Structure 1
Amino acid sequence: MITQTRPILSLTGLLKPEEDKDLELASYDVLLPCRRFDVDHKVAVLGRVSLTAEFLLRLVKSVDGIDENEAALFFGFGLRDMSFVLAEVAGLGYVERREGRLWITLSGMSLFLEGSDEPKIFDVEARRENVGFDLISLAYEHPRGLDDFSRALPELPLLQPERASAAAGNIYSAFRKSYSEIASRRDKASFDKRSLYSIDHVSPGDRFSSSVKLTIKSTGLRPWAGVADLSEWRNEVEQEDRPEVLDAVAAFVDDLSVTQRSGDREAYEVLISLAPEFLKEFVRKSGLAVDQYYRETFNRVGEVRSNRQTIAFVGSLFTRDNVRKLTEAYSIALRSRSRPSTLLWLIPIVKHWGATKTLPELLRMMASRNGADNNSDRPATTVGLVSGWPDAHVKKAFAQVCKSDAPAFPQTLELLIVPGVLVAASIHAPIGSKAGLPVPLGFISFDPRVVERASEYVGHSLHRYVKEDALERRIREDLARTTADEGEMSSSVPE
């Protein structure tokens, strides 16, 4: 569910109001903290009376007050059989015996459900269920296996930690509320024949996590002000049943906000230095005209073609549209390029970069295709370049993570390099506001000149990150590659 405020005209005049539309800004997978609980309870299971008792109940319902002998004669029951059946129905309180006649009781009448001629009864059974609930909204959550990368993703904040610590006491009402879903998942065929009778005891068990997929969407006029779309995780009704999770997601998104930094200008200068021909229409004496470049990028399709070697993009590289652009450009570039043995990704200093399952999927795809033609059966080695301590999910995603204690590049610069093949560069800073969500803005290019400049740029400071001699040698050999394709690069943001 997206809660979106009414678009307003930005003070910086990013767009004309009639140009405004939705902008997919970023995509994340985050962990929802959960716990298993053993719930001892009783269920009322809908059963059937014996066949002979059923026949008798049907008869007495139709002919209330029938003589016992006439009833026995009707069914052809002997004395012994009749005594057994009468003991069953009278003992259960369904039929009353008075002066040799049979009368159906209110309990007996209640066995005949509306629209049914078949009498039914309930048996109470004791059961134990091991079920999962999330610790934020205490909603039922079916445990699912997570891979190593997913288990390392960031966790949604516990805005009410006392609620999580006292979860066992609140599971009684949560289990009752979710029982229909729990029971139907266990046994759909017999679910309509049982109902929850009582909850006797709850014992907390092991913790586990479930993943929540969210997409941050904003608008062209206000790209820095995004909200979470959770439609890929749960439908709108299920989201409304979990308001505490919605609050936690909103807090997660708010925590991504940054302010403009003094180094942002230097970062945009890097874009100009890498692709001066492509960006020449947006270069001023003060540097890159960010607002104008953003406007053109937002309003243009920028589809990848073999004769359009550089295209602009806005939003994270992990959004659906940008993943498509990147993979299409990569496919075109690989047609005529030799394939290196390494892939480099300079990671910007922004919160939770790459916290999406798309990251390892994209790396696997690019590495496997890269390694298919480099005289090796092994895929290319993926190398993450990180300033400071890498996030846990980053370490799981890359084959090698090389870190520098102090940044050697602008903090907001993201640079993906497949040496000799392709480069994707972007800056993570608010656009149109001094503070807000970072709006990645940059380009994807397989222009030989751009790829070569990016390789030289990273190569100058590579030693600050890569400390292993053999790996550094491999990377430098790859960075020294020259592209075979010398096609012309588009000189402006493509139509």
Structure 2
Amino acid sequence: MTNPDKKRKTLTLGKRKADTSIHLRGESRGFDTNEKPQDQEPPLVGTIDFLLPCRDYVVDFKVADTKRLSITLEYLLRLLKLLGRLTEEELAEFFNYSRKELEFVLSEAKERDYVAWRNGEVELNNVGRALFSSGQNIPFSLELQSFSKRVGFDLLSLGFEHRGHLSYFERSLPELEVMHTSFVEGGSKDIPAVFRKNYFDIMISDSRLERERKGLYSIDKISSGDRFSALVTVNIRLDERGVGQPDYSLAGPRADQDAASRNEIFESVSSFLGRQCRTKRETDQVSLDLFKALIEGALTTPRSQAVGKLQSPKSMAQELLDAVNSAEGNSAFIGSPFLPEIGTQLIAAIRDGQSKRQCTSNVAWLLPNAPAWGMTANLPSLIEGVFEEFSFLTDDGTIEASQEEQALKSERAASSPALEWFYSGSLERHTEAAFAPYKKVGHELSISNNLVEVLVCSDAAVLIAIHLPPTRGSAMLTPVGVISSSEKVVNLARQYLIQLQAQTAGTP
């Protein structure tokens, strides 16, 4: 069953759940993972959102509504069904009707074209006999109604898709490629079969149809409409080798969708991720050394002993869990910082840091050279959640805001510390869109192959992660890291970013 307000397909589990989300203004970005026991399903380490190409079609169709006949007419038809041809006298005697009463009943039956009435004899005609289902002696009639409805279908799995509002960030995400264009090229000639296949979802999305559960009778006309996009979410899980791989099972309202109809989506996702994935290189050890230096203040043992050489994400995460000093406001994690449970840990660390000291510095972010980094609607939610903890307001571009509200936003945004970020190469469109509402400063770095991510949240807390490539094979990089409200760790990270900024400024 498809919810009319749903705007995304979710490859694997995507049912929203407010109580697992970061405490943010507006729509919750948390997901109810509904996870199976640990020994049955690998842990979730990330999510990636894509735009799913769709098209609108205007469909003119008829629906059938079954209506019971009047009692008098029903019994007349049932008698003729059982006994065949009868005379007017036999019918009048059976029903104890006067001549006038019999004429009234027979006239109604003839007007509806259910009987043949001539020469004083009455019998069912073809239309009358068609009122009885096979083996049934109770007639029914069909009342047809015409409808015209604009419906959308995605161009990959051909599933019914409701057109919903997409944010500026969501519209900046990459669109999945249509690998096979036969449906797109075929246009409206393929729509009748797709419409019939998805009619149940279409019916319950329309109160006019759903209220009386009207059945589809015919499709009369198809008109092609505009293209639009929906969202599809891909979950990344660790496989048995500790390698991040996309999980292509469907759940929630599309759990019963047959596998054959999902192949197009899977193929397009695989093609995109296949171009993004990478394996370990010798230069990645440099990133590991930097990561160990930045988290030194969060460890109970020397970093050289606490974290070994570049290894699998699962092994690295276990070493961090064993070595991190949680008593000093530190915690280790494995998985994307944009997963709600990890984002919630960061917000808790910010609150802890704010309770211990005054926090007036800006928010600074070193972005890693990790494939598909930030390709999730949870990215802008995390930024917003971090800024709200410091009571910063941003210009979110809402045209509905009053002039007073807009003026307040502008005043507060002008006095808020900037969001400062450091990156190598060019920023992806979705990353620029996520940073767009904030007073911001960007620094393009000359370094390459950087796998370290550092998010310094004013003077309150810091998130430091290394995006680990698999030891063998090709897969998505898996983040492993530390969240800390320790002043020592925050200062280490802040000083490193200041050094990067100085190096960038001094580059000819």
Report the TM-score range of the alignment, normalised by the length of the smaller protein. Answer: 0.7 to 0.9
Q: Which residue of 2 aligns with 1:22?
A: 42
- Distance of aligned partners of 1:448 and 1:192 in 2 relative to their CA distance in 1, 3 Å threshold: closer
How many Å apart are 1:238 and its aligned residue? Answer: 1.8
Q: What are the within-5 Å matches in structure 2 for residues 386-425 of structure 1? A: 386-398=423-435, 399-400=438-439, 402-408=441-447, 411-425=450-464
Q: Which residue of 2 aligns with 1:445?
A: 484
Listed as ranges, the matches of 1:272-311 within 5 Å are: 272-278=292-298, 280-281=301-302, 283=304, 288-291=308-311, 294-295=314-315, 297-298=317-318, 307-311=327-331
| Superimposed CA distance per residue, residues 232-270 of structure 1 (whole angstroms, 9 cap, x where no aligned partner) | 565432262432122223333333311334542221222
Match among 347, 357, 365 for residue 345 of structure 1:
365
Q: Is 1:142 the equivalent of 2:162?
A: yes
Counterpart mapping for 1:17-416 below 5 A: 22-49=42-69, 53-54=73-74, 56-61=76-81, 64-69=84-89, 71=91, 74=95, 76=97, 79=100, 82-83=102-103, 85-97=105-117, 99-105=119-125, 107-113=127-133, 119-186=139-206, 187-189=208-210, 192-197=213-218, 199-219=219-239, 221-231=240-250, 234-238=253-257, 240=259, 241-278=261-298, 280-281=301-302, 283=304, 288-291=308-311, 294-295=314-315, 297-298=317-318, 307-340=327-360, 342-371=362-391, 381-398=418-435, 399-400=438-439, 402-408=441-447, 411-416=450-455
**Pairwise CA distance, 1:418:** 1.0
Question: Do 1:363 and 1:382's aligned partners in 2 also have CA atoms closer than 8 Å?
Answer: no
Deviation at 1:107, TM superposition (A): 4.1
Unaligned runs of 5+ in 2: 1-10, 13-37, 394-410
Q: Which amino acid aligns with 1:111?
A: L
After superposing the two structures, state which structure 1 stretch, 170-179 or 66-75, moved more: 66-75
Pick from 465, 471, 477 the counterpart of residue 426 of structure 1: 465
Residues 358 and 303 from structure 1, CA distance in 2 versus in 1: closer, same or farther, beyond 3 angstroms? farther
**What is the alpha-carbon distance in structure 1 between the residues aligned to residue 135 and residue 388 of structure 2?**
63
**Does the aligned pair in 2 maintain the 1:93–1:107 contact within 8 Å?**
yes
Describe the shift of the 1:162–1:342 C-alpha distance in structure 2 as closer, same or farther (beyond 3 A): farther
Q: C-alpha displacement at 1:93, in angstroms?
A: 4.3
Question: Shift in Å at residue 372 of structure 1?
Answer: 6.7
> 1:190 and 1:303 mapped to 2: Cα distance?
60
The answer for unaligned runs of 5 or more in structure 1 is 3-17, 468-495
Alpha-carbon shift at residue 40 of structure 1 (Å): 3.1
Evaluate the alpha carbon distance shift between residue 316 and residue 77 of structure 1 in structure 2; reply closer, same or farther with a 3 A threshold. farther
Deviation track 1:367-424 (CA, whole Å, cap 9, x = no partner) reads: 1111279xx9667644443333222221222225544454357522211111311111
Q: Is the 8 A contact 1:367 1:380 kept in 2?
A: no
Corresponding letter in the other structure for 1:411: N
Give TM-score scaled by structure 1 length.
0.77
Could you tell me whether the CA contact under 8 Å between 2:350 and 2:457 is conserved in 1? no
Give the AA of the match of 1:355: M
Code of the aligned partner of 1:397: A
Kindly provide the CA deviation profile for residues 179-213 of structure 1, in whole angstroms up to 9, marking residues without a partner as x: 2322332234455443232x343222111111112
Provide the TM-score with structure 2 as the length reference.
0.75
Task: Return closer, same or farther for 1:288/1:304 CA change in 2, 3 Å cut-off.
Answer: closer
- Supply the RMSD in Å over aligned alpha carbons: 3.8
Task: For 2:325 and 2:392, locate their aligned partners in 1 and report how far apart those are by CA, in whole Å.
Answer: 23
Q: Give, in whole Å, the separation in 2 of the partners of 1:447 and 1:394.
A: 28
Q: Taking structure 1 as reference, are residues 107 and 298 closer, same or farther at Cα in structure 2, changes over 3 Å only?
A: farther
Q: 1:387·1:405 contact (CA, 8 Å) conserved in 2? A: yes
For 1:436, which of 460, 465, 475 is the aligned residue? 475
Question: Does the CA contact (< 8 Å) of 2:312 and 2:468 recur in 1?
Answer: no
3-state SS of the aligned residue for 1:168?
Answer: helix
Deviation string for 1:469-492 (max 9, x for gaps)? xxxxxxxxxxxxxxxxxxxxxxxx
- Partners of 2:159 and 2:77 lie apart in 1 by 43
Residue aligning to 2:22: none
- How many residues of Structure 1 are paired with residues of Structure 2 in the alignment? 446
Q: Matched residues, percent identical?
A: 27
Q: What is the rounded CA distance, in whole Å, between the counterparts of 1:288 and 1:123 in structure 2?
A: 75
My pick for the range that moved more, 69-78 or 418-427, is 69-78
Q: Note the alpha carbon deviations across 1:117-157, whole angstroms, 9 max, x for none.
A: 76322244544321101011222212222222222222222
Question: Contact 2:312–2:470 (CA<8 Å) still a contact in 1?
Answer: no
* Residues 453-468 of structure 1: pairs in structure 2 closer than 5 A: 453-462=492-501
1:312-366: CA deviations, max 9, x gaps?
2222112344233323323322322323363222211223211111111121111
SS across alignment from 1:258: coil
- Is the contact between residue 30 and residue 211 of structure 1 (CA under 8 Å) also seen in structure 2? yes
